[in-house]
Amino acid sequence: MERIEKKVIIDPYRGGEDIGSNIHGIIEKNYNLDLSKYIYKRLKDLNIKTYLTRDKDDTLSIDDRVKKIQSTYGKENNVIV
């Protein structure tokens, strides 16, 4: 059986103009980005092909997110989002 190499795409969502929730000073977009960067680094350390849809405080539409994912890894069934 052939082993298919998986590719992981991490999408912090929110960002830029979309801050999400703000509870007790914790802003969702910042928390999502920090957590996503941590997961990204850990997966990279494990030599797993990984990609972030954003790595700074950007506003991305759903269409822009999909375009970034498809332009980087395509539409194959070995892409995990």
- Mean pLDDT, contiguous 10-residue spans, the chain (81 residues): 78 88 93 96 93 90 85 74 60
Given this model, what pLDDT does residue 26 score? 92
Rounded to two decimals, the pTM is 0.79
Strands, E, within 1-81: which ranges? Answer: 7-10, 22-23, 26-27, 49-52, 79-80
What is the identity of the amino acid at 69?
A: I
Q: How far apart are CA 10 and CA 33, in angstroms?
A: 10
Given this model, what pLDDT does residue 46 score? 92
Given this model, what pLDDT does residue 69 score? 83
